[in-house]
Amino acid sequence: MNAPGHALTAAAAPRSRAERAPHERPAVHSTPRTTETTLAKAITAGLRRAMEEDEKVLLVGEDIGRLGGVFRVTDGLQKDFGEDRVVDSPLSEAGIVGTAVGLALRGYRPVCEIQFDGFIFPAFSEIVTQLAKMGARLGGAGRLPVVLRVPYGGGIGAVEHHSESPEALFAHTPGLRVVTPATPQDAYWMTQQAVRSDDPVMVFEPKRRYWDKGAVDLVGPLDAAPPLHAARVVRPGDDLTLVAYGPTVRLAVEAAAIAATEGTSVEVVDLRSVSPLDTATVEASVARTGRCVVVHEAPTFLGLGAELAARITERCFYALEAPVLRVGGFAVPYPAARIEEHYLPDVDRVLDAVDRSMAS
Amino acid sequence: MGPEAVGSTAAPMVQLLTPAGERVTSGDDGGYAERVEHLGLDDLRDRYRRMALVRRVDVEATALQRQGELALWASCSGQEAAQVGAAAALARQDHVFPSYREHGIAIGRGLDPVALLQLYRGTTHGGWDPAASGFHLYTLVIGAQTLHATGYAMGVQRDGAVGTGDPARDTAVLACFGDGATAQGEVSEAMVWAGVFNAPVVFFCQNNQWAISEPNERQMRAPLARRAEGFGFPGVRVDGNDVLAVEAVVGAAADRARAGEGPMLVEAWTYRMAAHTTSDDTSRYRDRGEEQHWRERDPLDRLEAHLRATGDDDDHAAFLADVTAEADAVAERVRRGVRALPDPEPTSMFDHVYADPHPLVEEERAWLADWVAAGEER
Ligand SMILES: Cc1ncc(C[n+]2csc(CCOP(=O)(O)OP(=O)(O)O)c2C)c(N)n1
């Protein structure tokens, strides 16, 4: 299906503690040369700039040309760069990724759009058995500079296969880099950094944040951006470290703001990259706070939170005041839209974990 | 060397009702006209009635989506002849593996339209028992169901339910998919399997000419029906806006399958008159002139023109009034039924994930039950 309606998006009932949320957004730096734009449009701008800078960059995907993508992320690019560089592909994900491997071997830098998270699986074999391993197999004789853009996550009231968070499957696959921006500024930077990387990079785009606005520096040099795989403290705090990425960063910041009104100082870390993981930033935070909660939409079982909990326990054991806690999806298929609010982590579930951690 | 044309004039097409509504009674070499020779005014009125009801459910569903009662709707408008014709060609014991747009076949198999709409309302990912109607669950991952249909047909073979000559036993399986789906590897794989094992599958492609914003030329380079030859079975293009022709051709393909003669590909040439779904905006990729061209070739109008020319005027008017009244009643029932659909219990997401108890699922179910209960107190 294509971009789903939003009829159900607003259905989530206001929760007691969430009602008091001051609706704070992740901090973004603001200088006169920034432009206020949405996360989706920031990606468009990043793609445009990457295409201007390197003529080997080309975009491939279903409905990305004339339609501009079901989320309009590639809007206008085919008009400006032509049909050879913005390719409406046949309806075949294995084809999209498999031919991207070939194009890359020929010196191109394909940026593929997978229309929705749940539709990446026809390409799973090409990604895992070919794209991820080819660099190592070539033994230095070639690289695979392929980018896969994947709108992911729930909360948009969609039908099946349109709300999933499969990032751990790919983070678990050696040979792939996996990142996920949470703000328009990061979306702009990380899109370009992904294209510049000589490795396969999967960019998981938090689709329910596509319409979030923020200030973006569209003129500054990319070199001024933080490294692609660096985590970032988006809200400083002393009592507990709350780790989030992609769609849950805004949630974490909202929870931290409420916790502050209740006397708990929560530090929010936006991972930005799930493979490699910037554990140093998380460790430095936990070494100070002694407590850690990880929140993501994907099932907690064998998810990113599990990896983080293990690493933090290994490295910060003596600093820990409480076990690392996880807040995430359940071990069930992503449910029907009418009950997705009960599946997705929300402010109350995050605060509940904060309370439990603080109580131990 | 440009791509070969794949459009309506590029391949021969079986047609038994001309766009002006005139019946063609001979001249095709597949014997299709003879297959439906026996269908008289009452039968054709029945087909029209079915098409009109499907259209009305579709219009109602679109309205319900606009009112926020459905999350999404994928209209089958323009494809009613293809779907009603295919459903009419099936026997009770046959099975259908649909994509997500086969509302006309679903209703033809006796499914309650409200059951269909549940999925689009967002209360379930399933919504009905396939065994009851022989109509399997909708499949949103493009093309996946064609392999399921093939496997099911292989099971039918093993059950000895092909080639017995018993019309109540021999079984065909209809695999439905779109023109876009033909680019998916799984669809080609299904054709390989069905060909290799001579499985009783009818590959039924409704070529509505668009896959969201992409035209046929992005999915294929030669007329689709010709592809069958490479897989080792026949392929036929039929006018998908001609209910009689579809019934005849799908009927022939299903008979072949039931007789144990193996698969066949039927390409029904039609048009998606509405947007891809209620979230789509066709103005970005196809022109109004094309849409107008096809509106003038509405499959309902074609059959109506035929019925009008065949019957007595007053009688025809009375028939149309009856159909409208019935459609109104169905629409009203669908509207009420959908509005009354309750949201599922939150913990229902843990139901049926496994056949046997699974400790993690049970642990999480208990946690959510407590959490929801505590939330009601909060
Ligand atoms: C594997 C997969 N990739 C992408 C999509 C998104 N998508 C939904 S419908 C569609 C177009 C389907 O076109 P077609 O097969 O012609 O069927 P139609 O919708 O026209 O009936 C696409 C690309 C999907 N559902 N599944």
Same domain, B244 and B359: no
Segment holding A206, helix H or strand E: strand A201-206
From atom 17 of ligand 1, which residue's Cα is the shortest distance away? Answer: B178
Ligand 1 atom nearest the C-alpha of B207 is 16
Within-domain flag for A103: yes
Using the structure block, give the residue that is written with the tokens 């539709």. Answer: A119
Residues in A closer than 8 angstroms to B214, CB to CB, are 62-63, 88, 90-91
Task: Enumerate residues 6+ apart whose C-beta is below 8 A from B113.
Answer: B57, B61, B103, B106, B107, B330, B334, B337
Within-domain flag for A209: yes
3-state secondary structure of A316: helix
**φ and ψ at residue A149, rounded to 5 degrees:** -95, 125
Q: Is B178 in the pocket of ligand 1 (CB under 6 A)?
A: yes
Q: What is the distance in A from the centroid of ligand 1 to the CA of A134?
A: 30
Within-domain flag for A4: no
Burial class (CB in 10 A: 0-12, 13-18, 19+), B65: buried
Quote the crossing angle between the two packed helices A248-261 and A347-359, to the nearest 10°: 50
Best mutation target among B75, B142, B187, B210 (most A Cβ atoms within 10 Å) is B142
> Residues B143, B181: contact at Cβ < 8 Å?
yes
- What pLDDT band is residue A28 in, cutting at 50, 70 and 90? low
Q: Which residue numbers of B are catalytic?
A: 272, 276, 285
Contact flag B371-A15 (C-beta cutoff 8 Å): no
Q: How far is CA B354 from the centre of its chain?
A: 30
Same domain, B76 and B194: yes
Q: Which two tokens stand for residue B23?
A: 């019946």
Residues in B closer than 8 angstroms to A1, CB to CB, are 72, 74, 100, 140, 276-277, 279
pLDDT confidence of residue B11: 84
Same domain, B290 and B330: yes
CA–CA distance, A283 with B129 (Å, rounded to integer)? 51
Residues in A closer than 8 angstroms to B290, CB to CB, are none
Within-domain flag for B313: yes
Using the structure block, give the residue that is written with the tokens 């700039």. Answer: A49
Using the structure block, give the residue that is written with the tokens 């747009």. Answer: B101
Q: Which of A204, A224, A244 is the last residue of a domain?
A: A224
Amino acid at A291: R
pLDDT in tens, chain B (378 residues): 455 778 878 889 999 999 999 999 887 778 999 999 999 999 999 999 999 999 999 999 999 999 999 999 999 999 999 999 999 999 999 999 999 999 999 999 999 999 999 999 999 999 999 999 999 999 999 999 999 999 999 999 999 999 999 999 999 999 999 999 999 999 999 999 999 999 999 999 999 999 999 999 999 999 999 999 999 999 999 999 999 999 999 999 999 999 999 999 999 999 999 999 999 999 999 999 999 999 999 999 999 999 999 989 999 999 999 999 999 999 999 999 999 999 999 999 999 999 999 999 999 999 999 999 999 887
Same domain, B332 and B356: no
Within-domain flag for A274: yes
Q: Which two tokens stand for residue A73?
A: 């992320």
Same domain, A191 and A283: no
- Does position A24 have pLDDT exceeding 60, yes or no? no
Same domain, A39 and A15: no
Contact flag B349-A338 (C-beta cutoff 8 Å): no
pLDDT confidence of residue A193: 98
From atom 20 of ligand 1, which residue's Cα is the shortest distance away? Answer: B211
- What pLDDT band is residue A32 in, cutting at 50, 70 and 90? low
Same domain, A217 and A71: yes
> Residues A305, A257: contact at Cβ < 8 Å?
no
pTM of the model: 0.94
β-bridge partners, A270? A232, A244
Residues in A closer than 8 angstroms to B184, CB to CB, are 91-92, 122
- Could you give the C-alpha distances from B298 to A119, B58, B250, B269, B295, in angstroms and in order? 33, 15, 20, 13, 5
> Residues A77, A48: contact at Cβ < 8 Å?
yes
Total Cβ atoms within 10 A of residue B147: 18
β-bridge partners, A325? A293
Same domain, B303 and B358: no
Contact flag A63-B214 (C-beta cutoff 8 Å): yes
- Does position A75 have pLDDT exceeding 70, yes or no? yes
Task: Enumerate residues 6+ apart whose C-beta is below 8 A from A4.
Answer: A156, A157, A158, A159, A162, B71, B72, B277, B279
Q: What is the mean pLDDT of chain A?
A: 93
Within-domain flag for A118: yes
Q: What is the mean pLDDT of residues A271-279?
A: 98
Within-domain flag for A65: yes
Same domain, B36 and B184: yes
> Residues B349, A332: contact at Cβ < 8 Å?
yes
Structure confidence by residue, pLDDT tens digits, A110-135: 999 999 999 999 999 999 999 999 99
Q: Which two tokens stand for residue A48?
A: 């445009």
Within-domain flag for B163: yes
Task: Enumerate residues 6+ apart whose C-beta is below 8 A from A242.
Answer: A252, A255, A256, A266, A267, A268, A269, A292, A293, A294, A295, A350, A354
Amino acid at B108: G
Task: Enumerate residues 6+ apart whose C-beta is below 8 A from B288.
Answer: none
Q: Best of B79, B212, B224, B271 to mutate for ligand 1, by most ligand atoms within 8 A of CB?
A: B212
CA–CA distance, A224 with A179 (Å, rounded to integer)? 18
Q: Is A91 in the pocket of ligand 1 (CB under 6 A)?
A: yes
Segments forming the whole domain that contains residue B299: 32-339
Same domain, A187 and A240: no
pLDDT confidence of residue B8: 76
Interface size between A and B, measured as CB pairs under 8 A? 149
Same domain, A44 and A95: yes
Q: Best of A93, A112, A119 to mutate for ligand 1, by most ligand atoms within 8 A of CB?
A: A119
Same domain, A114 and A141: yes
Q: Which of A270, A266, A69 is nearest to A180 (CA)?
A: A270
Same domain, A121 and A149: yes
Same domain, B221 and B84: yes
Structure confidence by residue, pLDDT tens digits, A207-239: 999 999 999 999 999 999 999 999 999 999 999
Same domain, B184 and B126: yes
CA–CA distance, B94 with B300 (Å, rounded to integer)? 26
Task: Enumerate residues 6+ apart whose C-beta is below 8 A from B40.
Answer: none
Same domain, B368 and B295: no
Within-domain flag for B62: yes
Q: Which two tokens stand for residue B73?
A: 């709707």
Amino acid at B14: V
Contact flag B65-A7 (C-beta cutoff 8 Å): yes
Q: How far is CA A257 from the centre of its chain?
A: 22
Q: Which of A238, A240, A266 is nearest to A324 (CA)?
A: A240
Amino acid at A190: M
Contact flag B125-A331 (C-beta cutoff 8 Å): no
3-state secondary structure of B214: strand
Strand order in the sheet with B235-239: B95-97, B173-178, B201-207, B264-269, B235-239
Q: Which of B337, B319, B299, B343 is nearest to B57 (CA)?
A: B337
Same domain, A220 and A238: no
- Number of structural domains, chain B? 2
Q: What is the CATH number of the domain that holds A115?
A: 3.40.50.970
Same domain, B213 and B158: yes
- Does position A8 have pLDDT exceeding 70, yes or no? no
> In angstroms, what separates the C-alpha of B373 from chain A's closest C-alpha?
12
Q: What is the distance in A from the centroid of ligand 1 to the CA of A56?
A: 29
Same domain, A212 and A247: no
Within-domain flag for A2: no
Using the structure block, give the residue that is written with the tokens 């099971």. Answer: B155
Q: Is A89 in the pocket of ligand 1 (CB under 6 A)?
A: no
Same domain, A262 and A147: no
Within-domain flag for B47: yes
Same domain, B331 and B373: no
CA–CA distance, B295 with B149 (Å, rounded to integer)? 33
> Residues A296, A304: contact at Cβ < 8 Å?
yes
Within-domain flag for B41: yes
In terms of CA atoms, which chain A residue is nearest residue B282?
Answer: A67
Amino acid at A51: M
Beta strands (DSSP E) in A207-284 are: 213-217, 232-235, 240-244, 266-270, 273-275
CA–CA distance, A342 with B373 (Å, rounded to integer)? 12
> In angstroms, what separates the C-alpha of B242 from chain A's closest C-alpha?
27
Q: Which two tokens stand for residue A176?
A: 């792939």
pLDDT confidence of residue A33: 84
Segment holding B291, helix H or strand E: helix B288-295
Q: Is B35 in the pocket of ligand 1 (CB under 6 A)?
A: no
Segments forming the whole domain that contains residue A104: 34-224
Q: What is the CATH number of the domain that holds B192?
A: 3.40.50.970
Q: How far is CA B196 from the centre of its chain?
A: 26
pLDDT confidence of residue B81: 98
Contact flag A90-B219 (C-beta cutoff 8 Å): yes
Q: Which two tokens stand for residue B132?
A: 């009851």
Same domain, A273 and A340: yes
CA–CA distance, B281 with A179 (Å, rounded to integer)? 31
Residues in B closer than 8 angstroms to A4, CB to CB, are 71-72, 277, 279
Same domain, A237 and A332: yes
In terms of CA atoms, which chain B residue is nearest residue A17?
Answer: B378
> In angstroms, what separates the C-alpha of B102 from chain A's closest C-alpha?
14
Q: What is the CATH number of the domain that holds A257?
A: 3.40.50.920
Ligand 1 atom nearest the C-alpha of B177 is 15
Within-domain flag for A3: no
Count CA within 13 A, CB hemisphere, residue A309.
16
Same domain, B94 and B208: yes
Burial class (CB in 10 A: 0-12, 13-18, 19+), A314: exposed
- Does position A59 have pLDDT exceeding 80, yes or no? yes
- Does position A27 have pLDDT exceeding 80, yes or no? no
- Number of structural domains, chain A? 2
Name the H helices within chain A: 39-53, 77-81, 93-105, 124-125, 132-138, 167-171, 184-196, 248-261, 279-289, 304-316, 340-343, 347-359
**φ and ψ at residue B226, rounded to 5 degrees:** -70, -20
Within-domain flag for B353: yes
Task: Enumerate residues 6+ apart whose C-beta is below 8 A from B297.
Answer: B19, B241, B271
Which comes out higher in pLDDT, residue A10 or B203?
A: B203
Q: What is the distance in A from the centroid of ligand 1 to the CA of A1?
A: 6
